[in-house]
């Protein structure tokens, strides 16, 4: 009898295990490539009849162009229905008065899509940007944002940009790195609302690494990179993301991921944690990445946020390539009448949605600021943003090959239980009861 009971006991345990498995949610493995494809499809759905990508808080068309190029998509094929994103970029020239950042995001996107930044739609974007150069820096002297993205744009322009400007701006940026924590801020030290932040430090790392890789020098360059890197490593949120306010947000996380990409840290644990957190912020409804909307007081999909996240998840950064006139292939001229959209003019101090004592909150493009995805906390910006803000946000540059590690594959539970598993589970329980 004892010999019979032991096998029966083991059999009951087996039946219970099988029943639990059958009735548990099925785990669906979603690859990082699928996440990126869903995000790119979201951006395509946000293209309007003028060719632009809308529903973004700052320069969504420019950042989307880089995201498409980072994934091998020719933006001349991104159309709605016949006007392409390329057509929009050719005709969307900053109106005057303009800010330095108006030209910086465009230069980065133009070079990313194999355009000529010295003659794109008949406009010399490099000359326009360099007209903002004063006192060894670019644009507003109390903003580091326009200097970081300005130097990124100048570096991406290769030999067509002024080497003296590039070297002097690099020296200026290193001199403005925080002397205590090694981070960078949206504002320059000593200016209003100055504080270091993860998004601007991520952007700062991208420009410092780009400078080093493209022949610029400074005796403190390596040390500046190491100090900024240590700042990021010590400020990661426990959930794996990064945020301006302490809570993780998708924009800041995207910028920092791009910084880790240029530091060849794609396979590191911090990068894996950012990727997993970012993927958790992708909307299951439309494939976009979530950003906090203050008007709605909730997190919704945002084109700018999505583009920034996709660039980071693709293993790339804002500079996908360096422009070389000798290898340039001309871009077709615009087939529709160019229209200039209003651009943001740089304010003397960051605009805060709180009181004047609140700190600025930069976003993920030169003019945008990182917006929290959890609580309604204001974002900082030195410019007034519009839906199609032509200024950059904080954080993307150098390109690397697309590398997705095992950690880039995330498990998502699908609670729709297959009929066959349900039937088998019921049958197992029935057999168990009969035998017992």
Predicted TM-score of the model (pTM): 0.75
The number of folded domains in the chain is: 2
Residue 295: inside a domain: yes
In order along its 436 residues, the chain shows pLDDT tens digits of 444 444 545 555 444 444 444 444 333 445 789 999 999 999 999 999 999 999 999 999 999 999 999 999 999 999 999 999 999 999 999 999 999 999 999 999 999 999 999 999 999 999 999 999 999 999 999 999 999 999 999 999 999 999 999 999 999 999 999 999 999 999 999 999 999 999 999 999 999 999 999 999 999 999 999 999 999 999 999 999 999 878 999 999 999 999 999 999 999 999 999 999 999 999 999 999 999 998 899 999 999 999 999 999 999 999 999 999 987 766 554 444 444 444 333 323 333 322 333 334 444 445 444 433 333 333 333 332 333 433 333 333 322 222 333 233 333 333 333 444 455 554 555 555 544 5
* SS3 labels along the chain: CHHHHHHHHHHHHHHHHHHHHHHCCEEEEECHHHHHHHHHHHHHHCECCCCCECCCCCCHHHHHHHHHHHCCCCHHHCECCCCEHHHHHHHCCCCCCCCHHHHHHHHHHHHHCCCCCCCECCECHHHHHHCCEECCEECCCCECHHHHHHHHHHHHCHHHCCHHHHHHHHHHHHHCCCCCCCCEECECCCCCCCCEEHHHHHHHHHHHHHHHHCCCCCCCHHHHHHHHHHHHHCCCCCCCCCCCCCCCCHHHHHHHHHHHHHCCCCCCHHHHHHHHHHHHCECCCCCCEEEEECCCCEEEEEHHHHHHHHHHHCCCCCCCCCCCHHHCCCCCCCCCCCCCCCCCCEEEEEECCCCCCCCCCCEEEECEECCCCCCCCCCCEEECCCCCCCCCECCCCCCCCCCCCHHHCEEEEECCCCHHHHHHHHHHHHHHHHHC
Q: Are residues 39 and 10 in the same domain?
A: no
Q: Are residues 146 and 254 in the same domain?
A: yes
pLDDT at 376: 35
For residue range 65-88, list pLDDT tens digits in order: 999 999 999 999 999 999 999 999
pLDDT at 16: 47
Q: Are residues 181 and 48 in the same domain?
A: yes
Q: Are residues 374 and 436 in the same domain?
A: no
Question: Residue 126 belongs to a domain with what CATH number?
Answer: 1.50.10.20
Q: Are residues 379 and 240 in the same domain?
A: yes
Q: Are residues 68 and 170 in the same domain?
A: yes
Residue 318: inside a domain: yes
Q: Are residues 249 and 372 in the same domain?
A: yes
Q: Are residues 197 and 310 in the same domain?
A: yes
Residue 350: inside a domain: yes
Q: Are residues 52 and 136 in the same domain?
A: yes
Residue 101: inside a domain: yes
Residue 153: inside a domain: yes
Q: Are residues 217 and 78 in the same domain?
A: yes
Residue 406: inside a domain: no
Q: Are residues 131 and 3 in the same domain?
A: no
Range of the domain at 397: 28-401
Residue 410: inside a domain: no
Residue 408: inside a domain: no
Q: Are residues 14 and 38 in the same domain?
A: no
């Amino acid at each position: 009898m004892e010999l019979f009971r032991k096998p029966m006991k083991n059999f009951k345990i087996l039946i219970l295990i099988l029943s639990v498995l059958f009735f548990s949610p099925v785990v669906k493995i979603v690859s990082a490539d699928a996440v990126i494809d869903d995000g790119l499809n979201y951006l395509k759905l946000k293209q309007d009849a003028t060719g632009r990508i809308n529903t973004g808080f700052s320069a969504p068309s420019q950042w989307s162009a880089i995201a498409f190029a980072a994934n091998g998509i020719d933006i001349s094929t991104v159309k709605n229905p016949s006007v392409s994103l390329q057509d929009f970029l050719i005709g969307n020239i900053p109106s005057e008065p303009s800010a330095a950042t108006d030209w910086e995001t465009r230069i980065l996107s133009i070079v990313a899509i194999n355009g000529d930044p010295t003659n794109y739609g008949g406009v010399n974007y490099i000359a326009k940007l360099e007209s903002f150069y004063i006192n060894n820096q670019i644009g507003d002297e109390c903003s580091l944002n326009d200097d970081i993205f300005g130097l990124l744009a100048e570096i991406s322009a290769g030999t067509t940009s002024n080497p003296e400007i590039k070297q002097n701006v690099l020296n200026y940026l290193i001199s403005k790195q925080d002397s205590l924590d090694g981070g960078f801020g949206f504002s320059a030290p000593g200016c209003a609302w100055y504080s270091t932040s993860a998004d601007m430090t991520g952007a700062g790392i991208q420009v410092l690494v780009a400078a080093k890789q493209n022949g610029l020098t400074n005796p403190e360059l390596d040390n500046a990179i190491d100090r900024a890197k240590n700042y990021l490593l010590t400020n990661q949120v426990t959930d794996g993301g990064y945020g301006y306010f302490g809570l993780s947000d998708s924009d800041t996380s995207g910028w920092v991921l791009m910084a880790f990409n240029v530091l060849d840290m794609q396979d590191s644990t911090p990068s894996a944690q950012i990727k997993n957190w970012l993927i958790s912020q992708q909307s299951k409804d439309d494939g976009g990445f979530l950003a906090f909307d203050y008007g709605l007081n909730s997190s919704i999909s945002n084109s700018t946020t999505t583009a920034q996240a996709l660039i980071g998840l693709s293993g790339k950064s804002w500079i996908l390539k360096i422009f070389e006139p000798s290898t340039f292939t001309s871009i077709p001229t615009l087939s529709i009448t160019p229209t200039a959209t209003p651009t943001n003019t740089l304010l003397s101090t960051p605009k805060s949605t709180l009181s004047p004592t609140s700190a600025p909150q930069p976003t993920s493009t030169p003019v945008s600021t990182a917006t929290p995805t959890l609580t309604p906390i204001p974002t900082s910006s030195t410019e007034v943003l519009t839906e199609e803000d032509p200024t950059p946000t904080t954080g993307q540059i150098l390109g690397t090959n697309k590398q997705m590690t095992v950690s880039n594959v995330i498990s998502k539970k699908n609670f729709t239980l297959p009929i066959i598993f349900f039937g088998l589970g019921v049958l197992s329980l029935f057999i168990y009861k009969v035998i017992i």
